């Protein structure tokens, strides 16, 4: 992504817990960065609400709903969420989650057809992850090849990412 107003520079610390390493992606309301835990060095993905939305109460509530919905959602096929906080210095909320390194399903599809056994394994893994989310009343609403990542390019380890526009049937009205 291109640096612009509100962009977090590498080295920026969040709540004294995480440090930004590099930008990964930007969307409508947020930006995602690769970062690490300052104490352990563990890699994390950090989703930060854009500066333009930091004081928008509706946007903040949607961000909070995403954090609440995903707090207890644990499944090996779903990216793990660690913490939701508001950095005091930046006055911007952020979500820290598992950093998943690997190709997206979009990237893999550009390389050509997937062997049938791999496609079946991928389908089963993603279905199990979505089932776990649905059991908790969470509907992803943006399952796309860009939101499926294969660690070590292995479909058997695929992870569903980006629950940013998910809908929760248990957290009241509104899209997350």
Inter-CA distances, 10 with 19, 23, 24, 68, 88, Å: 8, 8, 12, 28, 18
Task: State the Cα–Cα distance between residues 136 and 71, nearest whole angstrom.
Answer: 11
The active-site residue, picked from 107, 142, 146, 162, is 142
In sequence order, what are the beta bridge partners of 160?
Answer: 78, 148
CA-closest candidate to residue 20, choices 3, 148, 59 = 3
Query: Residue 87 catalytic?
Result: no
Rg (CA), the chain: 16
Tokens of 10: 């590498």
In contact, 160 and 151? CB cutoff 8 Å: no
Instruction: Compute the 3-state secondary structure of the chain and give helix, strand, coil in percent, each to the nearest 5.
Output: 30, 30, 40
Q: List, by residue number, the catalytic residues.
A: 142
């Amino acid at each position: 992504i291109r640096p612009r107003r509100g962009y977090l520079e590498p080295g920026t610390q969040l709540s004294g817990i995480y440090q930004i390493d590099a930008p990964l992606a930007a969307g409508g309301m947020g930006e995602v960065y690769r970062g690490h835990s300052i104490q352990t060095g563990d890699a994390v993905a950090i989703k930060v609400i854009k500066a333009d939305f930091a004081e928008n109460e509706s946007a903040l509530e949607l961000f909070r709903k995403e954090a609440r919905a995903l707090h207890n959602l644990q499944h090996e096929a779903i990216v793990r969420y660690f913490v939701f906080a508001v950095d005091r210095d930046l006055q911007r909320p952020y979500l820290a989650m598992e950093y998943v390194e690997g190709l997206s399903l979009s990237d893999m599809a550009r390389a050509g057809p997937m062997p049938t056994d791999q496609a079946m394994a991928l389908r089963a893994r993603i279905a199990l992850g979505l089932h776990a989310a649905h059991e908790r009343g969470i509907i992803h609403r943006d399952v796309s090849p860009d939101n499926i990542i294969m660690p070590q390019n292995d479909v058997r380890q695929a992870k569903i990412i980006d629950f940013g526009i998910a809908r929760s049937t248990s957290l009241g009205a509104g899209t997350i």
